[in-house]
Amino acid sequence: MQPQLPQLIPSEICLDCPVCCRFPEKQAALSPFFFPEERAQAEQLKPEGSFREAGKGLPSKAQLVACGHGFACSFFNPEDHTCQVYEARPLDCSMYPAVIMHSRDHGKVVVGADMKCPALKRPSVAARLGSYLDLIQRYLESTTLSSFIRKYPQFISEFQEEVVEVRELSLGKA
Ligand code: SF4
Ligand code: SF4
């Protein structure tokens, strides 16, 4: 469904970071969302991974499981901090720290950068953030993907205060 998006944050930084894939509560709203095609690909790689929506073929957020003092995505390997479906990880994960969300007044859909990602404070990363968000904006506004997002609006997160450099998305009409 998606071309390989370039990563903003180098893998060696992510593998040392305690933020992604882990959540403070089991029903965390920000657990990763899978479009149906993405879910099918992840289930092929790791059938024991689980989803909140039980029905096969439904779009769904990943189920979170107990991990340390909190919870983690059921595809996360706490031993080495890797994703067990890395080649098939969903767009929601591969574009992070770019996130798609509703504006505060719910009147717009926007994309921006989630400052919970500590790597965004690194000058080398911050210098590339604007062009990365431009790329993600163009990708999300592409005809194919914008029609997917209109079909599965659950992909769009609720407004988050920590998201900066916000740009409005034009997703067309149903
Ligand atoms: S929060 Fe940022 S640095 Fe940490 S794993 Fe996620 S993308 Fe990588
Ligand atoms: S699917 Fe992979 S990258 Fe995404 S939250 Fe789960 S473990 Fe992390």
Report which ligand 1 atom has the smallest distance to the Cα of 116: 1
CA-nearest residue, atom 3 of ligand 1: 14
For residue 76, how far is its CA from the centre of ligand 1 (angstroms)?
14
List the pLDDT tens digit at each of the 174 positions of the chain: 656 689 999 999 999 999 999 999 999 988 999 999 999 999 999 888 899 998 888 999 999 999 999 999 999 999 999 999 999 999 999 999 999 999 999 999 999 999 999 999 999 999 999 999 999 999 999 988 999 999 999 999 999 999 999 999 999 875
For residue 62, how far is its CA from the centre of ligand 2 (angstroms)?
8
What's the token pair of residue 163? 């998201």
> Is the same domain home to 100 and 161?
yes
For residue 66, how far is its CA from the centre of ligand 1 (angstroms)?
20
> Is the same domain home to 104 and 167?
yes
* Residue ending a domain, choose from 23, 56, 88: 88
Q: Is residue 1 part of a domain?
A: no
Q: Is 62 in the pocket of ligand 2 (CB under 6 A)?
A: yes
Q: Is residue 27 part of a domain?
A: yes
Q: Are 77 and 133 in contact (CB under 8 A)?
A: no
* Residue ending a domain, choose from 53, 88, 123: 88
Q: How far apart, in whole angstroms, are the C-alpha atoms of residue 112 and residue 98?
A: 5
| Domain encompassing residue 67 | 11-88
Tally of domains in the chain: 2
> Is the same domain home to 82 and 127?
no
3-state secondary structure of 91: helix
Q: Are 71 and 25 in contact (CB under 8 A)?
A: yes
* Residue ending a domain, choose from 88, 108, 132: 88
> Is the same domain home to 104 and 61?
no
